[in-house]
Amino acid sequence: MLRGRTCVAVLLVAALTSIPTTVAIGAEVNLYSARKEKLIKPLLDRFTKETGITVNLLTGRADALLKRLQAEGANSRADVFITVDVGRLHRARVAGVLQPIKTPVLNQAVPQSYRDPDGYWYGLSVRARPIMYVKSRVKPSELSTYEDLGNAKWKGRICIRSSNNIYNQSLVASMIIANGEARAETWAKKLVANFARSPKGGDRDQIKAAAAGQCDIAIANTYYLGAMLTGKDEAQRQAAEKLAIFWPNQSERGVHVNISGAGITKSAKHKQNAIRLLEFLVSDSAQQWYAEANNEYPVRPGVARSATVRAWGDFKADSLGLAELGKYNANALKLMDRAGWK
């Protein structure tokens, strides 16, 4: 439920460039991250200042980084892999590039539903994927559940990303788990029939399309709306202000949520430093910074949310163990294809 030192340099590298080997062995940790530089560098700077451990950072797209880890195998210099969505974390585990770890700090900080049961990965932040509606064209009383979005009354009124988007794949996986594959497929077909346009663009594009009158409802992760509301782009802010959040399925399982997360690589040469980094990332101070910087929900209970997020109110989140979503990813992909979800 969601309610409420030595002078060290952090080396930032462009995606898929080689990590340097000039740093002294033992005082470093090598990180492959699918999170953007601005969303991770300040925390790495803090970690280095507090521990004296240099963080060598390589950023890139999640799928490309996973492929690189697989190709490098035991020779990989990576110690930690950070990515978004439990579907990708599950793929990394299945690919054999992660190793299990369990520490009292991690197990206490990260709720059971937000970590792999065997310790292959741990959540670092939480995001919700609710219904967002145009305030001038939709009344909250008209909304209820994800399932209701298949109702004919929403025909031509829904904007959502394509089926190749991992966030939507996990959403559909949650529908399979909740309702069974047959009912989830029927729902997906009806949902597709209600699309206002062929899926295109990212979550921000769905929000902007709704604000521009192309649809009345957008399905998007909460932190995108938060970024638009608090960013420097005036047009995006004005677009975001036209929408409000509706928390679906509150009388039953709750809102679909997901995570960004991290695991220790199987090839880790600096395992203890890697563990220290993960434990730092779930500390109160790191969680607080991340909540403010990216408008995501802290994975650690009791850490305050940003003012923007608090303004959206409290909600009941699906208590499903997120490891289950990864297990159903392949089923979700096939289902979406059968439903005509492009």
DSSP-derived secondary structure for 180-211: -HHHHHHHHHHHHHTBSS---S-HHHHHHHHH
Calpha distance 279→277 (Å, rounded): 5
Q: How confident is the model at residue 17 (pLDDT cuts 50, 70, 90)?
A: very low
| Average of per-residue pLDDT across 230-247 | 97
Average pLDDT for 310-331: 95
Which tokens belong to 75? 């020779």
Q: Is the pLDDT of residue 325 over 60?
A: yes
Residue 148 lies inside a defined structural domain of this protein = yes
The answer to whether residue 162 is domain-embedded is yes
| Domain match, 276 and 294 both | yes
pLDDT of residue 311: 96
In this prediction, residues 54-76 reach a mean pLDDT of: 96
Specify the pLDDT at position 232. Answer: 93
Residue 310 lies in a domain: no
For 81-129, the pLDDT digits (tens) are 999 999 999 999 999 999 999 999 999 999 999 999 999 999 999 999 9
| Tokens, residue 210 | 């709704």
How many Cα atoms are found within 13 Å in the side-chain-facing hemisphere of 55?
A: 30
**1: confidence class by pLDDT, cuts 50, 70, 90:** very low
Statement: residue 153 has pLDDT above 80: yes
Confidence band of 38 (pLDDT split at 50, 70, 90): confident
- The verdict on 328 and 224 lying in the same domain is yes
Q: Do 210 and 76 share a domain, yes or no? A: no
Asked if the model's pLDDT at residue 28 lies above 50, the reply is yes
Same domain, residue pair 170 and 65: no
The answer on 328 and 185 residing in a single domain is: yes
DSSP letter assigned to residue 115: B
Mean residue pLDDT of the chain comes to 92
Average pLDDT (125-138) is 97
pTM, 2 dp: 0.89
What six digits make up the tokens of 40? 């991770």
Note whether 176 and 238 are same-domain residues.
yes
- Whether residue 26 contacts residue 271, with contact meaning beta carbons closer than 8 Å, is answered with no
Question: In terms of Cα–Cα distance, which of 203, 222, 217 is closest to 309?
Answer: 222
d(CA 164, CA 226): 24
Could you tell me if residue 120 is inside a domain? yes
Which DSSP symbol is given to 85? S
CATH number at residue 152: 3.40.190.10
| Percent of the chain residues past pLDDT 90, beyond the cut | 90
- For residue 3, is pLDDT > 70? no
* Residue 233, amino acid: D
Q: What are phi and psi of 46, to 5 degrees?
A: -65, -45
Q: Which amino acid is at 146?
A: Y
In-domain check, residue 316: no
On the question of pLDDT at 6 being above 60, the answer is no
Domain holding 248, by residue range, is 128-255+323-338
Neighbours of 120 (CB within 10 A): 22
Within a domain: 309? no
In a domain, 15, yes or no: yes
Confidence tier at 19 by pLDDT (50, 70, 90): very low
Strands 28-33 and 80-84: parallel
Both 23 and 163 in one domain: the answer is: no
State how far the Cα of 156 lies from the Cα of 313, in Å rounded to an integer: 29
Per-residue model confidence as pLDDT tens digits over 258-312: 999 999 999 999 999 999 999 999 999 999 998 998 999 999 999 999 999 999 9
Q: How confident is the model at residue 8 (pLDDT cuts 50, 70, 90)?
A: very low
Burial class of residue 327, CB neighbours in 10 A (0-12, 13-18, 19+): middle
Going by pLDDT thresholds of 50, 70 and 90, the confidence category of residue 26 is low
- Is 328 found in the same domain as 193? yes
Verify that 20 and 112 share a domain, yes or no: yes
Query: Quick one: tokens of 293?
Result: 């910087």
176 and 273 assigned to the same domain: no
| Sequence letter at residue 129 | R
Residue 192 domain-assigned? Answer: yes
82 and 62 in contact (C-beta within 8 Å)?
no
**Are 200 and 292 members of one domain?**
no
pLDDT of residue 307: 95
240 shares a domain with 145: yes
Q: Rounded to an integer, what distance in angstroms lies between the CA atom of residue 136 and that of residue 216?
A: 9
pLDDT at residue 221 greater than cutoff 90: yes
Question: Looking at the 3D structure of the chain, how many domains does it have?
Answer: 2
